Structure 1
Amino acid sequence: MKLISKFHRFLFMDLKLGRQIMIWGTADSLSVVDVLNPRDNRVPGLIDVEDARLPLNALKVDFYAGNWNLSAVAIPDIRFGKNPDYGSEYYFYSIPDNFSAENNILPKEEIPESGTENAEYGVSFQGNFSGWDWMLYHADFYNDQPRVVFEFNPPPLGSGLETKSRVHDRLKLNGTGITLVSGSWLWKAEAAQVSGFRFYGTDQEYERQDLMFGIEYAGISDASLGFEISRRSYPDFDSTLENPPNNADEHVVQSAFNYRQDFWNQTLHLNSFP
């Protein structure tokens, strides 16, 4: 279902209904709080994050008071990211000789129905000041990355550990972000705690702590340079989760450089992410 966006502005409030993109956080590439819109991952690394976000039907309300902005959004449109299709060079399972109904590493994906019962929610609170901004975030949403559900069927009737389905866990995020401007330098940071992660072999729900730090230099005419680094960690990680079939990592560190250049009176934009 596609809705035409409707926008209404009142004295202290904006109301928007329809397909829209909700951008959270301060990072360009490695945000740890930008979780509301799914991504187009069919050609990973070749699409700018700004173009990779997929719009969702949502109701969004913004309240304003001086330097402060309170935003609330309800998303009954349940959609997940687009991944490479079979035959793509980026396809997750790249050995076609072994791909069959009996040996399929990607079991059926269970997608919750769209509607108010499964709606996702988000609230953000932002203050804009001279030389710096500060944000708070809360979200109740589905994990865009599905989790494989396994079932153990002992021989001789079964074949041991078998894949059953792929499900999207319901997660909760509490996070914050800040930006500081100093001359031609922009400093930015994000932090988030995400709860609701599940793994095979345990009924425990795990929390993950995410951090992002970034810096951007805009002292070059019509150009900017940026660097970001993020770290995602499970504080209650059990070493058994490193074993199959979970194959989980206690810590994941990512980094990204970017270079942006404008040409022809800012009508042509070049973005590079090595």
Structure 2
Amino acid sequence: MTRKRPHSLTLMLALIATAAVHATEPEWEDDWGDDWVEESTSPWQPLSGFIEAGTGRRLQTDEAGLGSSTLSQLIARLESGYQGEQWQATMRLDAGYDDVVDGWLVDVRDLSVSTSVGEHTQLKMGRQVLTWGTGDYLFLNDLFPKDWQAFFSGQEDQYLKAPVNAIKTSWYGNRFNVDLVYMPRFEADNSINGERFSYFDPISGGKVAPGHSPNEPSDDAAAARVFWSTGQTEYALYGYWGYSGQPKAIDFDSGFPAPQYARLNAYGASLRTTLAGGLFNAETAYHQSLESSSSTQIAPPDQVLLLLGYESELITNLTGSMQYYLEHTRHYGDYLSTQPDPSKATDQNRHLLTLRLGYRAWQDKVQLNLFTFYSPSDRDFYLKPQASYRVDDRWLLSAGLNLMNGRDNHTFFGQLDDNSNAWLRLRYHY
């Protein structure tokens, strides 16, 4: 095991904080400098961003032997861009140190250029974060990569959506609009793989923390959306052609079980409309697995997904939303026959209920949020309370919990009970 260097975060914080202070000071001054700035019409956006330190600790001992730290990170965000008449460019970069994995990190969140092609078409190329659909933390047709390690460790919600190299073409018509996305190479989720959090392994029948991920396919992937509005109702149709974001197939060709990414096509639809003073949304999807089980491979089954949601303001400054999610496995008998232990297989109909409560106070300086997942079929749950306090325009303090548990150690949230943690983040905007 690589020796940890706990003092590295403190040293890096001091260095980056010093750089941030100097970055706010002018490099030179003269008598006519202020007048020149006022008259400047430069298309280049000034450099901005933030510096954030985060720490998180496991609330119990991990059965698979992982350490107590779940988040120990210092990152600096750099943002800039170019806004010309014909071309626009965006740069959003995170760099820092992650003490949990004892390594430096560089995350290019956005490095893209965009331009108009004709009167109705917009083209965006490069690394970018893509998202669509109506779910809140639930993704039926949004099959772009996600970062679940960031989500369960207490990083800001924006990090749940991982960036991807893509070409996005958007066409806006009088009634219908179309988004076409082409990804030259498929990029998988940053899923729970034992590096930071342990999980249940159906082959060994227990919790493991192997600390590695399967190789991603070198194939491309594509997605499409057609969306339009009628009155106060928004509609959308979706398509996806690629691979599942998580390694749901198991391959035995090498002599031992190895997780693999399975080929996947997905088709779906959604709507969002006003209802009884709030917003109602519905979404459905059909996930078609293009793999087939054999003597050397266990393939994931086809699934039909359904989501119903409603959001409204309960009282002043307090909003609430609820969701019902159904995951139906087709050809369930065939699926059970491929499982190492059918008693620990996913139910044919997995039900999930969610509740979100959000409260704002002191001119939005204080924000309290609670998100809960509960599955009556799996008998497991996930509670995600968090609070933030904005000291001023520059300083933000956030804290929260990730609490997971369940009746069985093989269900989605039940397997994560040893990963429950508390976290704290301090951010400085410059």
Matching of residues 1-274 of structure 1 within 5 Å? 4-10=111-117, 11-44=119-152, 46=154, 50-84=158-192, 86=194, 88=196, 90-92=197-199, 109-113=214-218, 118-151=219-252, 163-196=256-289, 198-199=292-293, 206-238=301-333, 241=336, 243-244=339-340, 247-263=345-361, 265-266=363-364, 269-274=367-372
Residue segments in structure 2 that go unaligned for 5+ positions in a row: 1-106, 373-430
User: d(CA) in 1 for partners of 2:142 and 2:322?
Assistant: 18
Instruction: Pick the structure with more helix per residue.
Output: 2
Normalising to structure 2: TM-score of the pair?
Answer: 0.52
Alpha-carbon displacement from aligned partner over 1:106-164 (angstroms, at most 9, x marks no partner):
88613112xxxx111001000123211110000002111113535399xxxxxxxx633
Highest RCO, 1 vs 2 (Cα 8 Å, sep ≥ 6): 1
SS of residue in 1 equivalent to 2:257: strand
CA RMSD of aligned residues (A): 3.4
User: d(CA) in 1 for partners of 2:335 and 2:301?
Assistant: 14
Shift of 1:189: 0.5
Contact 1:107–1:163 (8 Å) recurs in 2: no
User: d(CA) in 2 for partners of 1:45 and 1:273?
Assistant: 15
Shift of 1:187: 0.8
User: d(CA) in 1 for partners of 2:311 and 2:152?
Assistant: 23
Alpha-carbon displacement from aligned partner over 1:158-199 (angstroms, at most 9, x marks no partner):
xxxx63322101100010001110242111111111101544
Shift of 1:234: 1.8
Alpha-carbon displacement from aligned partner over 1:48-80 (angstroms, at most 9, x marks no partner):
654301011110000011242111000124322
Contact 2:251–2:298 (8 Å) recurs in 1: no
Query: Which amino acid in the other structure matches residue 169 of structure 2?
Result: V
Summarize the Cα distance change of 1:27–1:229 in structure 2 as closer, same or farther, 3 Å threshold.
same
SS of residue in 2 equivalent to 1:51: helix
Summarize the Cα distance change of 1:249–1:61 in structure 2 as closer, same or farther, 3 Å threshold.
same
Query: Which amino acid in the other structure matches residue 217 of structure 2?
Result: P
Aligned length: 255
Summarize the Cα distance change of 1:269–1:50 in structure 2 as closer, same or farther, 3 Å threshold.
farther
Moved more, 194-203 or 120-129: 194-203
SS of residue in 2 equivalent to 1:110: coil
Summarize the Cα distance change of 1:215–1:171 in structure 2 as closer, same or farther, 3 Å threshold.
same
Summarize the Cα distance change of 1:198–1:232 in structure 2 as closer, same or farther, 3 Å threshold.
farther
Contact 1:31–1:212 (8 Å) recurs in 2: no
Query: Residue 159 of structure 1 aligns with which residue?
Result: none
User: d(CA) in 1 for partners of 2:212 and 2:139?
Assistant: 29
Contact 2:140–2:284 (8 Å) recurs in 1: yes
Query: Which amino acid in the other structure matches residue 321 of structure 2?
Result: G
Shift of 1:25: 0.9
Query: Which amino acid in the other structure matches residue 237 of structure 2?
Result: L
User: d(CA) in 2 for partners of 1:53 and 1:166?
Assistant: 23
Shift of 1:18: 1.3
Contact 1:142–1:171 (8 Å) recurs in 2: yes
User: d(CA) in 1 for partners of 2:194 and 2:127?
Assistant: 28
Please say which structure displays the higher CA radius of gyration.
Answer: 2
Summarize the Cα distance change of 1:39–1:61 in structure 2 as closer, same or farther, 3 Å threshold.
same
User: d(CA) in 1 for partners of 2:331 and 2:124?
Assistant: 40
Query: Which amino acid in the other structure matches residue 260 of structure 1?
Result: G
Contact 1:61–1:72 (8 Å) recurs in 2: yes
Summarize the Cα distance change of 1:31–1:82 in structure 2 as closer, same or farther, 3 Å threshold.
closer
Contact 1:179–1:188 (8 Å) recurs in 2: yes
User: d(CA) in 2 for partners of 1:108 and 1:204?
Assistant: 18
User: d(CA) in 2 for partners of 1:105 and 1:195?
Assistant: 29
Query: Residue 91 of structure 2 aligns with which residue?
Result: none
User: d(CA) in 2 for partners of 1:193 and 1:207?
Assistant: 8
User: d(CA) in 2 for partners of 1:211 and 1:21?
Assistant: 24
Alpha-carbon displacement from aligned partner over 1:3-46 (angstroms, at most 9, x marks no partner):
72101134211111112222121111223111122333355284
Query: Which amino acid in the other structure matches residue 163 of structure 2?
Result: P
